[in-house]
Structure 1
């Protein structure tokens, strides 16, 4: 990227972001990894999917949520009631996968996450050799401590999404209700579990190359 790149952008379109990604890959002449981070409900998945659709065959999507511990493991660890916190993910596994994706000459299979069953799915997606832009999306890509600290250096460009807090909370409550919680339970989870995580994630925003406001 050139030194004149913006450090923030308001309401950028998928086409504008796709142009940025293409320029980066073309300048490097090699596969690049673009990280999209932000708090729960910020719209990371929606933006990542739109970006990959805009980029077409050049791009592949790797969701951090595929590295959720399973419900069985969370139960063994006593962390099921905090699902979504940093220590409920296999951060080392994600880092190893990103390092492999950077240098692989063949297809690389990555896990995904199925919200309908609240479980990770092994080899749920593939990064084909033809994809020179890999979009990685997740809450904790920019954390600077513990097993997450090394992830930032594996990303060629890091984007942080911000959205109005009330809108983000509305999305979270609706999401939790869509997957089976009552409104009361959805609001409790959003306030008691998601919001502490959101504050932690927001503190990592300064490690991004660009902040996207929606």
Structure 2
């Protein structure tokens, strides 16, 4: 198989067609009936996309997980300690509206069908946002999604507990409907084989809000993925998603964004563009995009939301 050559790059570059060949004999275990649960808002996910992009990726991750499990056994043997179960952690980062949540759901569905690691948990960093009350007290409600709006210490502690093999580890739950943490509710992780952590800033290696703390979320990743696209396309997808939400979930009586329901389409577009220009766009440029090259694998999307290129970091 020919790989696109970039001699001085840290990555091996693959076209969609080249990457699809690496599926080998991996069977497609998902059907049309699964797509509705996997695709995101305004995404046209197809079985061809899953077969060409995500099946090869699930095969690669399966090989990595098997190698990691063997390495853990070697370490336990060397230390003369009983074998411990250590979850493999995959981090997925990228902008708002780029499709990282869909990527995470697809990988969870595919990886859980491999016999060596049937238990795959998906956790989003949204649950580790500070409650709106705290954000308002600190005057950073308008910075929601920026690094300082997350309880980074709690997130690091969560990953440390998961990685240490703790039997049960709780994570806060976030409601996109109320736009806030759900009081008293937890998502419990019970020693899964794989944990997929998806979020905006997961690949960062530093944050002013952590002070002198030297341990970061990305330190716990065994493998990391960045979902990439042209910024202009991401902005368009964000506006399209906002319009879709305006006519659907924003209509719920409990929705934090119900005030947008009565906007005309033109007014809604203006509001979505304002939010992008003041919050999501700056966060992408300042905090998210600079972490892209830290990922071990980059999925580059076309304007049609399809992955057109894949970059895999050289070992």
TM-score over 0.5 (shorter chain): yes
| Pairing 1:137-156 to 2, within 5 Å after superposition | 137-146=198-207, 147=210, 150-156=216-222
Deviations 1:110-168 (A, max 9, x none): 22321111012355433232x21110111111122223962221111111110232331
Report the counterpart of residue 183 of structure 1 in structure 2. 269
Report the counterpart of residue 46 of structure 1 in structure 2. 102
Separation (CA, whole Å) in 1 of partners of 2:130 and 2:269 = 26
Residues 127/20 of structure 1: CA separation in 2 closer, same or farther (3 Å cut): farther
Report the counterpart of residue 90 of structure 2 in structure 1. 34
Deviation at 1:60, TM superposition (A): 0.6
TM-score, length of structure 2 as denominator length: 0.61
Separation (CA, whole Å) in 2 of partners of 1:10 and 1:114 = 37
Q: Does 1:16 align with 2:77?
A: no
Moved over 6 A (4+): none
| Pairing 1:1-214 to 2, within 5 Å after superposition | 7-8=12-13, 13-29=53-69, 30-56=86-112, 57-121=118-182, 123-129=185-191, 131-146=192-207, 147=210, 150-177=216-243, 178=245, 179=250, 180=257, 181=260, 182-200=268-286, 201-214=288-301
Count of residues in Structure 1 that have an aligned counterpart in Structure 2: 209
Deviation at 1:197, TM superposition (A): 0.6
Deviation at 1:13, TM superposition (A): 2.3
Separation (CA, whole Å) in 2 of partners of 1:128 and 1:139 = 24
Deviation at 1:15, TM superposition (A): 2.0
Gaps (5+ residues) in structure 1? 1-5
Separation (CA, whole Å) in 2 of partners of 1:144 and 1:7 = 23
Residues 110/166 of structure 1: CA separation in 2 closer, same or farther (3 Å cut): same
SS in 1 for 2:173: strand
Separation (CA, whole Å) in 2 of partners of 1:175 and 1:124 = 28
TM-score, length of structure 1 as denominator length: 0.87
Residues 202/193 of structure 1: CA separation in 2 closer, same or farther (3 Å cut): same
Separation (CA, whole Å) in 2 of partners of 1:85 and 1:22 = 32
Residues 160/7 of structure 1: CA separation in 2 closer, same or farther (3 Å cut): farther
Separation (CA, whole Å) in 1 of partners of 2:188 and 2:57 = 22
Gaps (5+ residues) in structure 2? 1-10, 17-51, 70-85, 113-117, 251-256, 261-267, 302-315
Larger radius of gyration: 2
Q: Identify the range of structure 1 (93-102 vs 172-181) with the bigger mean alpha-carbon deviation.
A: 172-181
